[in-house]
Amino acid sequence: MNALPTDPIANPPERSPRRGTRYHESPAKSIVNPVKGMRFLWSISPYRGCVHACTYCYARASHAFLGYNTGDDFEHEIIVKTNAPELLERELRQPKLRHQQMVMGTISDPYQPAEHRYRLTRRILGILDRFGNPVQITTKSTTVTQDLPLLERMAAGAGCAVNLTITTPDPELARLLEPRTPSPAQRLRAMQVLAEHGIATGIFCAPILPGLTDRREDLERLAEMVVAHGGRWMMGSTLRIGEGFAEPFLASVRRDFPELVWRYERQARSGHRGSVSRDESRRIHDVMDDIRAKYGLLSGPPPAPEPVIEAQTSLPFLADLATR
């Protein structure tokens, strides 16, 4: 197995014409990451890069910081933070993290194929469960159902919510946009299994791509499927074609949707950080609001339970806390 040095930026690996997936075991310096400007405060990412190869993925930009390109390298050079569980054990002892919700799946799918080999996500969840930290997971993988007993226990305790990312009900379109992911139908079945085990679940319909996945009839069909499979919410956001990940997406559009090249190239050049226009954003969000109201869906996971702060302050309690 190839291993990266601790600082992969200083010594990036040589390129080669191969295109197999390589896993680079690289110890991290920290694992709980503060988040700004979002509806959550803390995230955990045991992997970097993602073999799902979603053409629109904003996380591609982060791979450049590791000395890789944001195209094929993002899909085939996977960073594995092998010491993530040990770091988490130590970091969760900080008072500021006590009972705080942790979000997984913000920059790399925690259930991508690497999880079959390393089981880092499973170990992390076990630690969060023991410390009483609620978790929210976003994934495109049906592998999440392999951790049902643990997720079920967390759902009944500190709290657990799972977002299945589904951008379209059309399997052929999904294969072009998300070439190495389970089909939309498989993801919906995973949602149903989670719901049947008492785990709060819904879909992350993101990004919504104008001209491809924004038709009202398709979004409404997706909402019907979510309700039929036990989902409770349908969260959505519009496509951004930002710096660092625009070219891989535009290349896929030129290959698969040449009639839309002009539209997406214009968006990439826009002065709104590659976002859709305000009018288009408003139109899409109004459609989503109407659909959610029609099908009784929430706009996102319910808030994590409020932290329960123990009143006990005896020395035995402090000793127990110090050894956790």
Mapped to the 3 state alphabet, what secondary structure does 257-324 carry?
A: CHHHHHHHHHHHCCCCCCECCHHHHHHHHHHHHHHHHHHCCECCCCCCCCCCCCCCCCHHHHHHHHHC
Q: Are 108 and 47 in contact (CB under 8 A)?
A: yes
**CA 296 remoteness from chain centre:** 24
Q: Express each pLDDT in 92-136 by its tens digit.
A: 999 999 999 999 999 999 999 999 999 999 999 999 999 999 999
**Quick one: average pLDDT of 148-155?**
97
- Residues 87, 69: Cα–Cα separation, whole Å: 28
According to DSSP, the residues that pair with 236 across neighbouring strands are 205
Block residue for tokens 């969760």: 92
- Residues 4, 15: Cα–Cα separation, whole Å: 14
Q: Express each pLDDT in 11-68 by its tens digit.
A: 333 333 346 899 999 999 999 999 887 778 999 999 999 999 999 999 999 999 888 9
What was the pLDDT predicted at 195? 98
User: How does the average pLDDT of the chain come out, rounded?
Assistant: 88
- The proportion of the chain whose per-residue pLDDT surpasses 70, expressed as a percent, equals 88
pLDDT over threshold 80, residue 6: no
What residues does each domain of the chain span?
Answer: 24-302
305 pLDDT band (50/70/90 cuts)? low
C-alpha angle 228-234-240 in degrees, rounded to nearest 5: 140
**Quick one: average pLDDT of 159-184?**
97
**Quick one: average pLDDT of 228-240?**
97
pTM, 2 dp = 0.87
Q: Are 61 and 264 in contact (CB under 8 A)?
A: no
- The proportion of the chain whose per-residue pLDDT surpasses 90, expressed as a percent, equals 81
Q: Which two tokens stand for residue 50?
A: 């993602």
Architecture of domain 24-302: Alpha-Beta Barrel (3.20)
DSSP H/E element including 77: strand 77-80
Q: Are 143 and 181 in contact (CB under 8 A)?
A: no
